[in-house]
């Protein structure tokens, strides 16, 4: 008997969780070592995942790695400079992590990884900040791009900022409540962006990391 669900969730559209068959670090110079993972079919068409942020990353087995069929594709994820499991991490050594960390260098890192893994050309998938960085990489190295897919591009318009800060929590009120619990109770609706900025860049590093982590988790739940 066929059962029809009342609604389709994002989980229904993802492939099953899997573990990487290969992980490693790539030394790209200037003191940066980038963490990468490989999933799926080692003989399949290659897809490079370009994560968002700037400053995010791709955790092992997270939802970002589940958007392509692992039985068909060879899926490669890399943490950009200062992000994820790459070293140095921005939360551990901010100055070193941000030094020699430009869009040009991030794009060229993908080329270093492609060469390191002996890949002639690959498909590129970018989301959020990755939807900006992926086309930039393609413009610099078009000869190695088979196709490009981008999603969730952020154009920083007033409506987008309002949605991101004030409205997307309507769909995940319980997750938003966890973030709001860390912020001043007297905060008004349009104060949140300013309060987040001051908290994350403030002198209390422990509190800054706690709030930044909560904001990142909230965004991850809403977007993925």
Pure H helices in 44-102: 94-98
Pure H helices in the chain: 94-98, 103-116, 129-140, 158-162, 173-180, 192-200, 205-223
Length of the chain: 224
User: What is the CB-side half-sphere exposure of residue 202 using CA atoms within 13 A?
Assistant: 15
* Secondary structure of 178-198 in HEC code, one letter for each residue: HHHCCCCCCCCHHHHHHHHHH
Beta pairing, strands 122-127 & 46-50:
parallel
The DSSP secondary-structure symbol of 219 reads H
Residues 126 and 133: beta-carbon distance below 8 Å:
yes
Residue 217's pLDDT is 82
Residue 169's pLDDT is 87
Q: Is the dihedral of CA 166, 129, 99, 217 positive or negative?
A: positive
Would you tell me which CATH number, out of the four given (3.40.50.1820, 3.40.50.80, 3.40.30.10, 3.40.50.1000), belongs to the domain 10-151?
3.40.50.1820
Residue 152's pLDDT is 83
Average pLDDT, consecutive stretches of 10 residues, N- to C-terminus, the chain (224 residues): 62 86 96 96 97 82 84 96 93 88 96 98 94 95 96 84 85 89 74 84 84 84 74
- Closest by CA to 91, choosing from 207, 216, 182, 205, is 205
Q: Where do the CATH 3.40.50.1820 domains begin and end in the chain?
A: 10-151
Residue 206's pLDDT is 86
Residue 81's pLDDT is 96
- Cα separation values, 54 from 45, 83, 90, 115, 206, Å: 27, 8, 11, 24, 21
Neighbours of 50 (CB within 10 A): 28
């Amino acid at each position: 008997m066929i059962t029809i669900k009342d609604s389709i969730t994002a989980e229904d559209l993802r492939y099953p969780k899997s573990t990487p068959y290969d992980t490693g670090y790539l030394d790209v110079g200037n003191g940066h070592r980038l963490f990468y993972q490989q999933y799926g079919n080692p003989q399949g068409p290659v897809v490079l995942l370009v994560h968002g942020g700037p400053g995010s990353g791709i955790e092992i087995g997270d939802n970002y790695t589940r958007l392509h069929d692992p039985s068909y594709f060879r899926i490669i994820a890399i943490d950009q400079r200062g992000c994820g499991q790459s070293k140095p991490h921005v939360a551990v050594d901010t100055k070193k992590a941000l030094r020699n960390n430009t869009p040009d260098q991030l794009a060229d890192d993908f080329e270093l990884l492609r060469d390191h893994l002996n890949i002639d050309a690959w498909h590129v998938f970018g989301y959020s900040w990755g939807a900006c960085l992926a086309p930039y990489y393609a413009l610099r190295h078009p000869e190695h791009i088979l196709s490009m897919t981008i999603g969730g591009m952020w154009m920083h318009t007033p409506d987008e900022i309002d949605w991101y800060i004030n409205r997307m929590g309507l769909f995940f009120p319980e997750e938003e409540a966890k973030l709001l619990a860390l912020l001043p109770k007297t905060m008004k609706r349009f104060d949140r962006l300013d309060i987040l900025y001051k908290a994350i860049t403030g002198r209390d590093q422990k509190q800054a990391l706690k709030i930044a982590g909560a904001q990142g988790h909230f965004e991850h739940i809403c977007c993925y």
